[in-house]
């Protein structure tokens, strides 16, 4: 009898935990505004130490729909470190990993300064655009996620520029809670669900939901997340309307990138990428670790505590294949190929239904331009609408700067509704261009 009583008690506790009422968005926002940490005494914790970066435990969040907002908090320092931001909020939301299991991610929502003029009596002054900006953070270290890193400043200034145009800007931690760098499906799901989450709350801050347009933008690792989101949107978010997606410095083929980077300046991105993508594939992760030469294992695995810049500095010009017992062959076994087939190759998960702007340096040293050409040809052959700029000058790092202005011009057209009057809305336009605005900049 005592045993039965204990079982019933445990069962009732479990039921209570899983059926606790979920707070409404209004309640979550009210709680966030009521509990605002005060700078400068407030010091943000990195995700690995911050309990806020955990899924709720008072109810079964896995039963919610992808994109459901699970937590909201104010981020009072971020409107100080990022220019043109009136307020900043962080949203933890339900998402889906590369194996289509429930997961969660975080996005940071920046509200533009000019939104302070928005009111019910002045709707024309309210924002009507949302840009999901996928920042390239290129690391398997969760503490390098943008939601934390932006407390120390914005690396490229593009968030501030977009806010200056009056757009809402969301910056997702698209690598997820495991920092799954280079895992395409994970990144695409997180990006799409981040948009879903933001659209649930943006109306409370005055975004004109009756006419709001949404665009995605990313360069390099950020383009990886954005491109996968564009592909996956067809089947993962069929009701989502994206006005356009801008993609710079694409990396369509993860194995090609590995071969391209080995022994080069950016070789440190190889261990980052392998450790990142393998977090979504436990069998591949175990294989990678088991094949590392004992003398080099600790050094290789140390990338899990590094930023992208630190890894590039630590492994510069090294032969990464030399860290493995079987060399090159160890990274091309069946278990590795299964991982690459799921998460490593663009162009096989759907055809983007929205306009795309793709810009790449022909002499990009991180990714072979022929891989980008092939991806564009694949999409163009099945009806995609793409403007593709192949820049005749510059490196991968330089094209980030060389392409920035063109990216903004194109994004403005899709977000203000002028796209059809400026660009071809049917088929593909492929152009060799020459934009040489950037000084030489090395890795890191």
Same domain flag for 67 and 209 = yes
The phi and psi torsions of 58 (rounded to 5 degrees) equal -90, -5
Q: Which of 364, 367, 389, 413 is catalytic?
A: 364
- pLDDT band of 11, cuts 50, 70, 90: very low
- The edge-to-edge listing of strands for the beta sheet with 102-112 is 69-74, 85-96, 102-112, 168-172, 129-134, 213-219, 244-248, 356-361, 386-391, 428-433
CA distances from 232 to 119, 180, 197, 241, 354 (A): 36, 17, 17, 13, 12
Q: Average pLDDT of 179-189?
A: 98
| Residue 103 is a catalytic residue | no
Instruction: Take residue 160 and report the two structure tokens written for it.
Output: 């501030």
The answer to whether residue 443 scores a pLDDT higher than 70 is: no
Same domain flag for 238 and 261 = no
Same domain flag for 233 and 263 = no
The phi and psi torsions of 193 (rounded to 5 degrees) equal -70, -30
Q: In the chain, how many domains are there? A: 3
Answer whether 188's CB lies under 8 Å from 229's CB: yes
Same domain flag for 318 and 367 = no
- pLDDT band of 18, cuts 50, 70, 90: very low
Same domain flag for 323 and 182 = no
Summarize pLDDT for 212-250 with one digit per residue, the tens. 999 999 999 999 999 999 999 999 999 999 999 999 999
Summarize pLDDT for 402-425 with one digit per residue, the tens. 999 999 999 999 999 999 999 999
Same domain flag for 259 and 234 = no
Q: Average pLDDT of 419-432?
A: 96
Q: Looking at residue 226, what is its pLDDT?
A: 98
Q: Looking at residue 440, what is its pLDDT?
A: 56
Which percentage of the chain shows pLDDT scores above 90? 86
Q: Average pLDDT of 379-393?
A: 98
Name the least confident of 106-110, 114-118, 383-387. 114-118
Q: Compute CA 61 distance to the chain's CA centroid, rounded to the nearest angstrom.
A: 22
Q: 3-state SS of the chain: helix, strand, coil percent to 5?
A: 45, 20, 35
The answer to whether residue 441 scores a pLDDT higher than 60 is: no
Task: Answer with the residue of higher pLDDT: 36 or 237.
Answer: 237
Question: At 199, which CATH number?
Answer: 3.40.50.1820
Question: At 270, which CATH number?
Answer: 1.10.260.130
Instruction: Take residue 96 and report the two structure tokens written for it.
Output: 């889906």
Instruction: Take residue 183 and report the two structure tokens written for it.
Output: 């895992």
Same domain flag for 91 and 41 = yes
Residue 389 belongs to some domain of the structure: yes
**Residue finishing a domain among 222, 242, 262:** 242
Q: Looking at residue 229, what is its pLDDT?
A: 98
Same domain flag for 147 and 202 = yes
Q: Which domain holds residue 407?
A: 356-433
Residue 321 belongs to some domain of the structure: yes
Which percentage of the chain shows pLDDT scores above 70? 93
**Residue finishing a domain among 185, 220, 242:** 242
Residue 4 belongs to some domain of the structure: no
Which helix (H) or strand (E) segment holds residue 230: the answer is helix 221-236
**Residue finishing a domain among 314, 343, 372:** 343
| Residue 220 is a catalytic residue | yes
Residue 438 belongs to some domain of the structure: no
Summarize pLDDT for 319-362 with one digit per residue, the tens. 999 999 999 999 999 999 999 999 999 999 999 999 999 999 99
Answer whether 86's CB lies under 8 Å from 113's CB: yes
Q: Average pLDDT of 113-134?
A: 92
Q: Which of 151, 343, 396, 413 is catalytic?
A: 396
Same domain flag for 93 and 232 = yes
| Residue 377 is a catalytic residue | no
Q: Looking at residue 23, what is its pLDDT?
A: 84
Q: Average pLDDT of 433-442?
A: 77
Residue 442 belongs to some domain of the structure: no
Measured between alpha carbons, how far is 249 from 161 in angstroms, rounded to an integer?
Answer: 20
Residue 3 belongs to some domain of the structure: no
Q: Looking at residue 124, what is its pLDDT?
A: 86
Measured between alpha carbons, how far is 329 from 285 in angstroms, rounded to an integer?
Answer: 16
Residue 117 belongs to some domain of the structure: yes
Q: Which of 220, 233, 367, 413 is catalytic?
A: 220
Instruction: Take residue 408 and report the two structure tokens written for it.
Output: 């903004």
Same domain flag for 222 and 361 = no
Residue-averaged pLDDT of the chain: 93
CA distances from 72 to 27, 45, 69, 189, 419 (A): 10, 16, 7, 20, 34
Same domain flag for 177 and 325 = no
Same domain flag for 68 and 194 = yes
Residue 7 belongs to some domain of the structure: no
The answer to whether residue 17 scores a pLDDT higher than 70 is: no
Q: Choose among 37, 183, 22: nearest CA to 105.
A: 183
Q: Average pLDDT of 34-52?
A: 87
- pLDDT band of 120, cuts 50, 70, 90: confident
């Amino acid at each position: 009898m005592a045993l039965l009583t204990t079982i019933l008690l445990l069962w009732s506790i479990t039921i209570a935990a899983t059926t606790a009422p979920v707070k409404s968005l209004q309640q979550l926002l009210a709680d966030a505004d009521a509990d605002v940490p005060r700078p400068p005494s407030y010091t943000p914790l990195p995700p690995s130490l911050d309990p806020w970066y955990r899924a709720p435990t008072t109810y079964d969040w896995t039963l919610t729909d992808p994109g459901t907002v699970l937590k909201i908090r104010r981020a009072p320092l971020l409107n100080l470190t990022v220019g043109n931001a009136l307020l900043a909020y962080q949203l933890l939301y339900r998402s889906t990993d590369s194996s289509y299991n429930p997961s969660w991610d975080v996005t940071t929502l920046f509200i533009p300064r000019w939104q302070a003029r928005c009111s019910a009596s002045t709707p024309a002054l309210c924002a009507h655009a949302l840009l999901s900006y996928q920042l390239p953070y290129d690391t398997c270290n969760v503490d390098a996620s943008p939601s934390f890193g932006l407390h120390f400043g914005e690396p490229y200034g593009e968030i501030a520029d977009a806010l200056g145009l009056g757009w809402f800007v969301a910056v997702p931690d698209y690598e997820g809670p495991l920092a799954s760098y280079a895992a395409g499906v994970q990144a695409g799901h997180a990006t799409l669900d981040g948009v879903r989450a933001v659209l649930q709350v943006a109306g409370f801050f005055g975004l004109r939901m009756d006419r709001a347009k949404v665009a995605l933008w990313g360069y390099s690792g950020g383009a990886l997340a954005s491109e996968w989101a564009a592909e996956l949107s067809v089947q993962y978010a069929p009701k989502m309307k994206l006005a356009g997606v801008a993609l710079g410095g694409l990396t369509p083929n993860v194995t090609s990138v590995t071969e391209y980077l080995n022994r080069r300046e950016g070789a440190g991105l190889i261990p980052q990428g392998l450790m990142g993508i393998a977090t979504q594939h436990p069998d591949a992760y175990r294989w990678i670790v088991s094949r590392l030469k004992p003398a080099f294992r600790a050094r290789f695995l140390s990338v899990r505590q590094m930023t992208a810049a630190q890894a590039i500095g630590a492994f510069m010009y090294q032969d990464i294949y030399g860290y493995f017992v079987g060399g090159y062959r160890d990274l091309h076994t069946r278990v590795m190929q299964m991982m690459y087939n799921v998460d490593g190759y663009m162009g096989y998960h759907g055809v983007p239904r929205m306009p795309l702007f793709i810009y790449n340096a022909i002499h990009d040293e991180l990714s072979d331009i022929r891989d980008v050409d092939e991806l564009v040809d694949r999409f163009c052959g099945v009806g995609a609408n793409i403007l593709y700029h192949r820049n005749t000058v510059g490196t991968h790092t330089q094209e980030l700067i060389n392409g920035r202005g063109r990216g903004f011009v194109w994004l403005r057209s899709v977000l203000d509704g002028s796209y059809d009057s400026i660009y071809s809305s049917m088929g593909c336009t492929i152009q060799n261009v020459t934009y040489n605005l950037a000084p030489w900049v090395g890795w890191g």
